Amino acid sequence: MLKTNVQIDGVGEFKARYARSAIEKAMRRTLNDLTSRAGTAVKRKIREIYNIRARDLVKRGTHNRQGMEVRLSRGASGDAYIIGFGGPLPLIHFATTPKTPDADLRRKRRNGVRVKVKHAGGTKRLKRVFVARMQSGHIGLFERTGRERTPIQQKYGPGVGSMLGGRESMDEIRKTINSNAQTVFDRNVRFYTQMARK
């Protein structure tokens, strides 16, 4: 877990001159703005490193247990979070060829599947792996565990949590917050100062 402290000039002066409610609104809005910017920046950084689509990084809905979620500060809460949920992602989410079962059948599964998880890494050919659609509709990369047609097991790559927790991702979050903190705070101070004067 990354916790970061930010040095912002002018907070003491703002507290001395304006009502507590205005201070809380300005600080909360600053926190949320910075967290949203950091979330966008770290998704971009992850996609610079990994061959994964943006939509496969985002947690959608309460039933989806994998992905990244930005939780902003609400009400009296003074915290905001960027959270990576779930374990390893199905390998199909990364750059794979073929991508669909029909295409895999046309190839007669003779050449296996080509996978490239990272942009900087080479393409790896998995000879015994094939694309299949489950009864649930899920499409994934699978491998037989024995000589028979079943059982089969799905192949996985890194999870969102591990990608988010990488050194380059953490550095991107820190850099985004620290480089934007003062500008965002000053803008919010001006906004709530004007509101307080009305």
Provide the pLDDT for residue 37.
97
In the numeric block, the tokens 């080479």 are attached to: 122
Q: What is the pTM of this model?
A: 0.85
Residue 194 has pLDDT above 90, yes or no: no
Residue 64: predicted pLDDT: 60
Inter-residue contact 8 to 181 (CB < 8 Å): yes
Domain ranges of the chain: 11-86+159-197, 90-157
CA 118, 119, 124, 130 dihedral sign is: positive
Token code pair at residue 95: 């750059």
| The dihedral sign for the CA sequence 35, 38, 42, 44 | positive
Residue 107 clears pLDDT 60, i.e. is over it? no
Alpha-carbon Rg for the chain, nearest whole angstrom, is 23
Q: Quick one: residue 130, left, alpha or beta (phi over 0 = left, psi -120 to 50 = alpha)?
A: beta
Q: What is the pLDDT of residues 18-65, one digit of tens each?
A: 777 777 888 899 999 999 999 999 999 999 999 999 999 987 655 567
User: How sure is the predictor about 126, in pLDDT bands with cuts at 50, 70 and 90?
Assistant: very high
Report pLDDT digits (tens) over 56-80: 998 765 556 788 999 998 876 678 9
More confident residue, 149 or 17: 149
Return d(Cα 54, Cα 143) in angstroms, integer.
26
